[in-house]
Amino acid sequence: MNHFEYRDGRLFAEDVAIAEIAAAVGTPFYCYSTATLTRHYEAMAHALERVKGRICYAVKANSNQAVIQTLAKLGVGADVVSEGEARRALAAGIAPSEIVFSGVGKTRDEMRFAIEAGIGQFNVESIGELDVLNQVAVDLSQTATVVFRVNPDVDAQTHDKISTGRKEDKFGVDIVLAPELFQRAAEMPGIEPVGLAVHIGSQLTTLDPFREAFTRVANMVTDLRSAGHKVTCLDLGGGLGIVYDGEEPPEPTEYAAVVAETVGDLNVELTFEPGRVLVGNAGILVTSVIQVKETATKRFVVVDAAMNDFTRPTLYGAVHAAAPVNENSGSELTESEIVGPVCETGDILASNARLPALAENDLLYLKSAGAYGAVMASSYNTRLPIPEIMVNHAEFSVIRPRPSFEELLSLDHMPKWL
């Protein structure tokens, strides 16, 4: 459920006509709906009430500070994977104690920054990282609160490139090593180990992998406790899938039921790190037609957004439904390939989209582009970085402007010998 709907054949985001935004800011742009963000947060928060989990929004899904702050005002903490994301979360008003620092490769500088900022939890992914974190904490005369991200060797049954919990993936420590890590950590003056974390992948559309992973983690908690370790926290990661094009992902309540069933009796504090499920359907990508190009076999609709603005289709073969901003109901639908101007054959935003007759400057939009969209954008082909717009009821605001060519070009500096 989202707040992008047609009214008399014209697409609206809440009470703002998309065409009105396009006229004001130009295309392409991302557009987010506050009401949809709120709704998705509430669905998740409500479902997780029964297990009393805290929600630490995975900032990497959409790290615009206006998005983070909208969710922060609703009560989320943050899951961050870099110093930059930590700084964004802090700037958006999230308390350091409610920030979880994840990621397989935290540098010493990042650890130092995070400890000095008072970040509440470090999700440690290797023995080597534990040693370094201890050194950094001791140097600062501080203690880092640590959970160990374990790799449960569970296949999330999602796209290969967003699967993270199989033993051949780079993430986490083999779950059987958890007791050894707790033992080591107990002897380290700079580390306080409090629990385990698990995150097996993204865009999961079935519950079984969650059930399997959480069960393995629950069994390990029991083992750790019988070995005399104190386990007070479990971080169950994110990963819940959303509807892009006909998927049937589990409802938050069904997900919460699996949590209750697997770890509900352990008497631990639970943290969740949802990203996509909070922001994915709260955003669209709006673009306009440059050219319609008929070849012997296909109709190519060349638009002004491209793979540099939105890379999911190219990177993951992601399927995003596409539709016109102004419905043209009289026109016959033709199978079309929506492509961008970038000089790469992979620059395809949508294949097999069924679209009406289109002309130059007609507006199209891609649905469910709120997660892993703007955050992955680049300026490849020296295209201007794409702006982001947020709608709230009848108002909209540019939450990241499109820079000028002068600004973009001024980022390069000439060496003195030229």
Ligand X SMILES: *Cc1c(COP(=O)(O)O)cnc(C)c1O
* Residues of the shown chain interacting with ligand X in the complex, contacts defined by CB under 6 A: 58, 60-61, 79, 102, 199, 202, 237-239, 273-277
- The CA distance from 133 to 184, in Å, is 13
As measured in angstroms, the least distance from the Cβ of 295 to ligand X is: 37
The residue (of 238 and 387) whose beta carbon lies closer to ligand X is 238
Q: What is the DSSP letter of 399?
A: E
Shortest CB 18 distance to ligand X, Å: 25
- Distance separating alpha carbons of residues 323 and 337, to the nearest angstrom: 12
Which residue number, 123 or 134, has a Cβ lying nearer to ligand X? Answer: 123
CA angle 225, 227, 233 (to 5 degrees): 30
Pick between residue 58 and residue 218 the one whose CB is nearest to ligand X.
58
Secondary structure of residue 286 in the 3-state scheme: strand
Which residue, among 156, 120, 412, has the nearest Cα to 276 in the 3D structure? Answer: 156
Instruction: Give min distance, CB of 356 to ligand X, in A.
Output: 33
Using alpha carbons only, give the angle 204, 210, 214 rounded to the nearest 5 degrees.
155
Residue 243: name the closest of 408, 40, 389 by CA. 40
CA nearest neighbour of 327 among 17, 31, 26: 17
Q: Pick the catalytic residue: 31, 56, 233, 343?
A: 343
Q: Which CB sits closer to ligand X, 21 or 59?
A: 59
Has 343 been annotated as catalytic? Answer: yes
- Whole-number minimum distance, CB 205 to ligand X, in Å? 11
CA distance 44 to 278: 8
Residue 215: CB minimum distance to ligand X, A: 19
Of 33 and 287, which has the nearer Cβ to ligand X? 33
Known catalytic residues are 343
